[in-house]
Amino acid sequence: MSVKPNPFTIAQHQLDDAAAILGLSPAMHAFLRMPMRELHVSIPVQMDDGTYQTFQGFRVQYNDARGPAKGGIRFHPDETIDTVRALSAWMTWKTAVVDIPLGGGKGGIICDPKSLSRGELERLSRGYMRRVAHFIGADKDVPAPDVNTTPEIMTWMLDEYEVITGRHLPGVITGKPVHMFGSLGRGDATARGGIYTVREAAKLIGLDLQNASVAIQGFGNVGGWAAKLSHQMGMKVVAVSDISGAFYDPAGLDIPAIAAHVDQNPRHLIEGYTAAGMKPITNAELLELPVDLLFPAALENVITADNADRIQAKIVAELANGPTTPEADQVLFKKGIYIIPDFLCNAGGVTVSYFEQVQNAYNFYWPIEEVQTRLEAKMTTAFRAVHEMAQVHNVHNRLAAYLVSVQRVADAVAARGWVK
């Protein structure tokens, strides 16, 4: 049985490669390999039956040289501190690659949110905020939704923070509902930003996206929006999946019908949906389909040395965090598959979260057209910077994205005089 790769070890190795090419000093390299600070908390929660259960949670602030830490909070039964460390590192590089004035952070709670009632989930969310409130703030560290967390959960956390501080501070949390000072365009921002990068990549390799075939692993908020936006652009989505299974139709799936079914399903899953021509496949088979475009939009480490040589997509657009291992990167690069690395491809979410912070600070809110225009500008500029860096150094795009972002963070660290 293969051992699951440690995501933080992967993140460090990716940094090591960039540090060598950039010629970072040993001191700078060592400083950037580790989080600046992290918090471990125990959260007692009274369950609906009157008993108490204690949950373990984390908040990691990887680097704030370029601005306050920024990053989501995940609720997952397999959450680990090393996953949170890796994600906070990737957030640091993500905010730098799209050149927004933020650092990187991440949070998580070890729990199975699907086994919790709404009341238990609210008490857990508020309990987490009570434990980390002193650690965060609009000018220190700004959380957001992530895996299994929602705008409603962000509202509970915001309310708890404002009760603790006695102040109205909507900018301490992003990903809030629009009626609670969230930004228009945040719901589809991660997928929309990814689509902007796909459009640029398709131009480079001469791929006509009209009727291009698409496979999407994951049909949550990000994967679901990727499917809807791809369909709206005229692409043919042939495969989708979630925890209930993977489904394939080479003639193209009816994405509006699947999305409507998921919305009505009590568990918000594809399970139970049927259509002529659609057949079940495994998630492993989905990744290896002969498609033009593959969106890994679920969890990390799904494209590995074991299956990379069987990936057939022309473009792999990583909407998930860390879906490809370093060994797989080399295989895909040699095969000529165009990778849009995670912390570039999925940076639309943090970019619009930043826009939300700006709007909260000004107490003035933008129309959707302005949000999307600004997002498109940020994503296309970042894509071009990464592509140009890849050409200059003849490296794969993930390493090029690291070269762009690590240099920006290192410059900020050095300018502050922390490390030379």
What are the boundaries of each domain within the chain?
Answer: 35-173, 189-336
Asked if 197 contacts 340 with a C-beta cutoff of 8 angstroms, the reply is yes
Per-residue pLDDT at 63: 98
Torsion angle, CA of 257/184/342/285, rounded to 10 degrees?
-10
Per-residue pLDDT at 320: 93
Per-residue pLDDT at 3: 67
Torsion angle, CA of 9/15/20/23, rounded to 10 degrees?
-140
Cα gap 96→110, rounded to integer Å: 28
Per-residue pLDDT at 1: 46
Closest among 233, 195, 219, 198 to 372, alpha carbons compared = 195
Per-residue pLDDT at 237: 98
The distance in angstroms from the start CA to the end CA of the chain is 44
Task: Give SS3 for 70.
Answer: strand
Q: At what angle do helices 81-97 and 368-393 cross, to 10 degrees?
A: 90
Asked if 90 contacts 15 with a C-beta cutoff of 8 angstroms, the reply is no
Asked if 104 contacts 71 with a C-beta cutoff of 8 angstroms, the reply is yes
Give the total residue count for the chain: 420
Cα gap 336→346, rounded to integer Å: 21
Choice among 94, 106, 236, 314 that is catalytic: 106
Domain 189-336: CATH superfamily is NAD(P)-binding Rossmann-like Domain (3.40.50.720)
Give the pairing type, strands 213-217 and 104-110.
unpaired
> Can you list the residues of the chain whose pLDDT is less than 70?
1-3
Give CATH for domain 35-173.
3.40.50.10860
Per-residue pLDDT at 2: 57
Q: What is the pLDDT of residues 213-225, one digit of tens each?
A: 999 999 988 999 9
CB atoms within 10 A of CB 55: 18
Is 176 a catalytic site residue?
A: no
DSSP 8-state code for residue 146: -
Amino acid type, 26: P
Q: Which two tokens stand for residue 258?
A: 């699947």
Per-residue pLDDT at 322: 84
Q: What is the pLDDT of residues 88-127, one digit of tens each?
A: 999 999 999 999 999 999 999 999 998 999 999 999 999 9
- Is the fold of 35-173 the same as that of 189-336? yes
